[in-house]
């Protein structure tokens, strides 16, 4: 049973809280417009419940998307300030996610099996159970599976609502950002970032923090969308993952480069498959065809197809596994010997 979850406050991020940012990979202030924004950030009221929820259907609503001329990293610029984004994630409550729990269980069970196969080949060999930290663990679906499989697992999650849901299931969840949690150095064998890195205001700083938290040779698992995928290139500005909550759009190349800069050696890159309910899949079209989407969901429910689970893999989401390597990366990404 999932309860009790604290209600989210009705915080609305102020539209004036915008900032310009340099490239997070190479540091350059030299980006070209890739796709003009589809919303006016200065007019837009950013409601965290609508924009920053995991199950947000605000597809196709985003500010200007730019590409760094030097390294090719794609990101939103300008965007909400890091403080405004953090406040939005703290306030968000995503009750729709609870209804989709079963699909997430299947998705994460597969992810955990894949992670364990990489771990067995490349991971450190602790005396007891492996220590795992799930960053942005949300309501704790992956965490719970990891605990059931024998991992000594805990999570960090900024949403007060989601963290309380995880705790209500007996999971160890800190309600915090990763850096705010100030966890001890070299204390985890595995850190997972499932659908999280594209939401960070400063992914390089977060990856350096992951490096600090991992034991030497420890693994990080990252799932994110791939803007160099065929689907992303064909759909261009209509690629559904272009959303205001996604601040960065990595390709395999730019993610590899960022990991190398932050002290990681990439071990494997795999396609990612999601498993979702039929009704959830049909509801995703509500942004473009609201009436047709509602009719399709109603028809699926009448035909008792709504709860069927279907695998989705359009080839535009990747999972990257990387190992903490030495020497330690300095704050500007240049390796230093210690």
Which spans of this chain sit near Zn ion (rule: CB under 5 A)?
A: 23, 25-26, 28, 68, 70-71, 73
Q: Is the dihedral angle over the CA atoms 49, 51, 52, 56 positive or is it negative?
A: positive
Asked if residue 263 lies in contact with residue 211, where contact means CB atoms within 8 angstroms, the answer is: yes
The least CB distance from residue 260 to Zn ion, in Å, is: 14
Residue (25 or 255) nearer to Zn ion, CB: 25
The least CB distance from residue 244 to Zn ion, in Å, is: 21
SS3 271: strand
Residue (166 or 329) nearer to Zn ion, CB: 329
Do β-strands 131-135 and 309-312 pair in parallel, antiparallel, or remain unpaired? unpaired
The least CB distance from residue 23 to Zn ion, in Å, is: 3
In this structure, what token pair is assigned to residue 13? Answer: 């991020």
Instruction: Find the radius of gyration of the CA atoms of the chain.
Output: 19
The least CB distance from residue 24 to Zn ion, in Å, is: 8
Residue (25 or 183) nearer to Zn ion, CB: 25
Residue (23 or 118) nearer to Zn ion, CB: 23
The least CB distance from residue 30 to Zn ion, in Å, is: 7
Residue (238 or 253) nearer to Zn ion, CB: 253
Residue (57 or 77) nearer to Zn ion, CB: 77
CA of residue 175 relative to chain centroid, distance: 16
Q: Please tell me the distance from the alpha carbon of residue 69 to that of residue 92, in angstroms, as a whole number.
A: 34
Q: Which residue has the tokens 């969840």?
A: 173
Q: Please tell me the distance from the alpha carbon of residue 332 to that of residue 152, in angstroms, as a whole number.
A: 32
The least CB distance from residue 73 to Zn ion, in Å, is: 5
In this structure, what token pair is assigned to residue 320? Answer: 């990257």
Residue (219 or 262) nearer to Zn ion, CB: 262
The least CB distance from residue 225 to Zn ion, in Å, is: 18
- DSSP state for residue 68 in the 8-state scheme: E
Asked if residue 39 lies in contact with residue 97, where contact means CB atoms within 8 angstroms, the answer is: no
In this structure, what token pair is assigned to residue 289? Answer: 């065809």
């Amino acid at each position: 049973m999932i309860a009790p979850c604290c209600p989210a406050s009705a915080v609305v991020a102020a539209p004036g809280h915008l900032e310009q940012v340099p490239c997070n990979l190479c540091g350059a202030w030299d980006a070209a417009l890739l796709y003009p924004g589809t919303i006016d950030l200065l007019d837009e009221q950013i409601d965290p419940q609508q924009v920053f929820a995991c199950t947000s259907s605000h597809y196709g609503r985003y500010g200007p998307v730019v590409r760094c001329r030097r390294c090719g990293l794609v990101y939103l610029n300008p965007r909400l300030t890091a403080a405004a984004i953090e406040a939005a994630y703290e306030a968000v409550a995503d009750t729709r996610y609870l209804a989709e729990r079963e699909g997430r269980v299947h998705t994460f069970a597969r992810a955990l099996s894949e992670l364990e196969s990489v771990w067995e080949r490349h991971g450190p060999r602790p005396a007891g159970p492996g220590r795992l930290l799930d960053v942005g663990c949300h309501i704790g679906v992956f965490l719970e599976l990891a605990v059931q499989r024998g991992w000594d697992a805990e999570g960090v999650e900024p949403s007060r609502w989601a963290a309380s849901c995880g705790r209500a299931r007996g999971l160890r969840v800190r309600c915090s950002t990763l850096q705010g949690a100030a966890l001890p150095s070299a204390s985890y064998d595995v850190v997972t970032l499932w659908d999280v890195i594209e939401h960070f205001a400063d992914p390089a700083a977060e990856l350096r923090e992951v490096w600090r938290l991992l034991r030497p040779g420890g693994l990080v698992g990252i799932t994110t969308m791939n803007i160099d995928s065929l689907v992303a290139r064909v759909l261009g500005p209509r690629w559904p993952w272009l959303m205001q909550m996604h601040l960065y759009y990595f390709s395999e190349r730019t993610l590899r480069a960022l990991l190398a800069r932050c002290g990681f050696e990439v071990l494997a890159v795999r396609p990612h498959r999601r498993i979702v309910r039929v009704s959830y899949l049909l509801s995703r079209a509500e942004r473009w065809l609201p009436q047709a989407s509602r009719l399709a969901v109603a028809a699926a429910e009448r035909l008792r197809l709504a709860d069927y689970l279907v695998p989705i893999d359009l080839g535009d989401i990747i999972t990257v596994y990387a190992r903490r390597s030495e020497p330690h990366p300095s704050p500007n990404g240049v390796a230093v010997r210690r």
